[in-house]
Amino acid sequence: MSPTAVGPGVNPLRDPRDRRLPRIAGPCGLVIFGVTGDLARKKLMPAVYDLTNRGLLPPGFALTGFARRDWETQDFAQIVHDSVKEHARTPFHEATWRQLSEGIRFVQGSFDDDDAFDRLADTVQELDVQRGTGGNHAFYLSVPPGQFPIVCKQLARSGLSHPSEDTWRRVVIEKPFGHDLQSAQELNDVVSSVFRPDDVFRIDHYLGKETVQNLLAMRFANQLFEPIWNANHVDHVQITMAEDIGIGGRAGYYDGIGAARDVIQNHLLQLLALTAMEEPVSFSARALQAEKVKVLSAVRLPKDLDAHTARGQYASGWQGGEPVVGYLEEEGFDPDSTTETYAAIRVDIDTRRWAGVPFYLRTGKRLGRRVTEIAVVFKRAPHLPFEQTATEELGQNALVIRVQPDEGVTLRFGSKVPGTAMEVRDVTMDFGYGHSFTEASPEAYERLILDVLLGDPPLFPRHEEVELSWRILDPITEHWARSGTKPDAYRAGTWGPASADEMMARDGRAWRRP
């Protein structure tokens, strides 16, 4: 393939037919709004360094920070340096740092400051000349959602969002994508009035995790699983995201949002879509998104939301051997808050593959341990040719995909206990990334930032997916609001409120203990 046939942002020296070669970004720069926040300091800046360290960014890559702080460029460079030293995944190399630091710039200003955005436009033009960024720039909005509209309008007014011929301009938006369907649609209207749909990247960092991608490889690269990945063999699916931390310090963001909006609407419904979707014709962005949209369109809520949803709020207890306060005692919170820190829901998928198979989604703060997993629980064997002395009832086989923190896959099945008697007991077969591969998994933000710079968006939800997710969740949160009841209390360090266990018991099932 000749270089002229390769699109902007793609390395022309790479033959796309050779998938063994690493994906390397072409000439480009990244502008980060909100560089003083934790996300930029702990995730974005270290990810940029790690990509540079791995040789996946061009030598002339430029990193520009925009914030209200009265900093000079050297002040911002020091912030980046300190963040990299503290949080980077790869070793610190002076040569890599020098290469990156030569492309660092800083623009001081507020979002309503026209002059500041004009200075940013001048800086971007200078980088095109000085660093050879080629007019290709991505704008990362690491700012509260309420600031998205004004930043987008300023990017349009200053001309920063308008690429010239054979160049690109892209915008990266962090979740939450609105707080309900209406606000999500309003946000999309603002963003789409400034950027083309293909140039809008909605970040869901869970989709950048190695194990999420391995779910696709496991399902579609192996004949072993596909024949049983359906209602004939699967009893139910549990998708869990549990955190052992509380809300401390996030009162301004979390109160009024809650666990369902914060996690179920985006992370868990995206994991559901990847678990339940049909095989795509390819792993291109459009093919993957088309299959996810089909699944989300087929999701059906139970008629009795009281019986098949649960919400809770953590109370004081013990975590990691130390006493911790309850949600209502956290600093900055309304003592009468009805915001949930735990949410569990049941949904069904009206497709031939999944008819009659419930999907249970749960998330919570201050739970027993930090873990995210997808558990596909299979039906019990229909015939047990064993004496009662061997086993009363065989357990249920399960395939568990661990997304974090111990990335891997566990298969649970029945096996004979050594000895003269026929006794069957559940055992597990375990695959861990750390044991099977010498190369460590890249951090999620590394993969996602590189995808943005390459213009390769297969793991980024489009606005159709976002809106469908809100259509699923809105009736649940509205029902909770109308009920006028408070979330059920659960002790910190446990696995949620009793109402969540009762929800499963009504269906004759029980939550897994991760």
Per-residue pLDDT of the chain (514 residues; tens, 9 = 90+): 333 334 444 443 334 444 445 678 899 999 999 999 888 999 999 999 999 999 999 999 999 999 999 999 999 999 999 999 999 999 999 999 999 999 999 999 999 999 999 999 999 999 999 999 999 999 999 988 888 889 999 999 999 999 988 999 999 998 778 889 999 999 899 999 999 988 999 887 767 666 677 888 888 988 999 999 999 999 999 999 999 999 876 666 788 889 999 999 999 999 999 999 999 998 888 888 899 999 999 999 999 999 999 999 999 999 888 999 999 998 878 888 999 999 999 999 999 999 999 999 999 999 999 999 999 999 987 766 655 555 555 578 899 999 888 888 888 877 777 876 677 777 778 887 767 665 656 677 888 899 899 987 666 788 899 999 999 999 999 999 999 899 999 999 999 999 999 999 999 999 998 8
50 with 88: CB under 8 angstroms? yes
The pairing of beta strand 62-67 with beta strand 359-364: unpaired
Q: Are residues 164 and 23 in the same domain?
A: yes
**9 with 141, same domain?**
yes
CATH number at residue 222: 3.30.360.10
- Containing 502, the helix (H) or strand (E) segment is helix 498-506
Domain range holding 167?
3-174
Query: 0.85 exceeded by the pTM?
Result: yes
How far apart are the C-alpha atoms of 473 and 477, rounded to whole Å?
A: 6
The predicted pLDDT at position 114 comes to 96
328 shares a domain with 255: yes
Residues 304 and 362 reside in one and the same domain: yes
Among residues 157, 174, 191, which one ends one of the domains? 174
Please tell me the distance from the alpha carbon of residue 417 to that of residue 382, in angstroms, as a whole number: 21
At 202-249, the pLDDT tens digits run: 887 767 666 677 888 888 988 999 999 999 999 999 999 999 999 876
pLDDT at 50: 94
Pair (99, 24) in one structural domain: yes
* Opening angle at CA 466, ends 288 and 260, nearest 5: 120
SS (H, E, C) 391-409: CCCCCCCEEEEEEECCCEE
Q: Is 87 a catalytic residue?
A: no
Measured distance CA(82)–CA(289) in Å, rounded:
38
Cα torsion through 180, 182, 187, 188, rounded to 10 = 110
| pLDDT tens per residue across span 107-121 | 999 999 999 999 999
Domain annotation covers residue 321: yes
**Burial status of residue 282 (CB atoms within 10 A of its CB: 0-12, 13-18, 19 or more):** exposed
Catalytic residue among 137, 236, 267, 463: 267
Same domain, 122 and 35: yes
Query: Which pLDDT does position 437 carry in this prediction?
Result: 64
Is the same domain home to 131 and 214?
no
- Beta-carbon neighbour count of residue 253 at 10 Å? 13
Is 155 inside any structural domain? yes
Examine residue 420 and state whether it is found in any structural domain, yes or no. no
Whichever domain contains 33, its CATH number is 3.40.50.720
Tokens at residue 55, please?
């040789």
How far apart CA 314 and CA 230 sit, in angstroms, is 36
Same structural domain, 475 and 335:
yes
One domain, residues 166 and 279: no
Of 420, 367, 506, 453, the closest CA to residue 52 belongs to 453
422 found inside a domain: no
* Position 248 in a domain: yes
Single out the residue in 174, 194, 217 at which a domain terminates: 174
194 domain residue, yes or no: no
The chain-wide mean pLDDT, for the chain, equals: 87
**Does any domain span residue 57?**
yes
Do both 155 and 31 map to the same domain? yes
pLDDT, tens digit, 9 for 90 and up, residues 157-172: 999 999 988 999 999 9
On whether both 221 and 281 belong to a single domain, the answer is: yes
Residues forming beta bridges with residue 345, ordered by sequence position: 309, 361
In a domain, residue 13? The reply is yes
In Å, how far are 49, 125, 486 from 95, measured between CA atoms? 12, 26, 56
Number of domains in the chain: 2
- Say yes or no: 162 and 228 in one domain: no
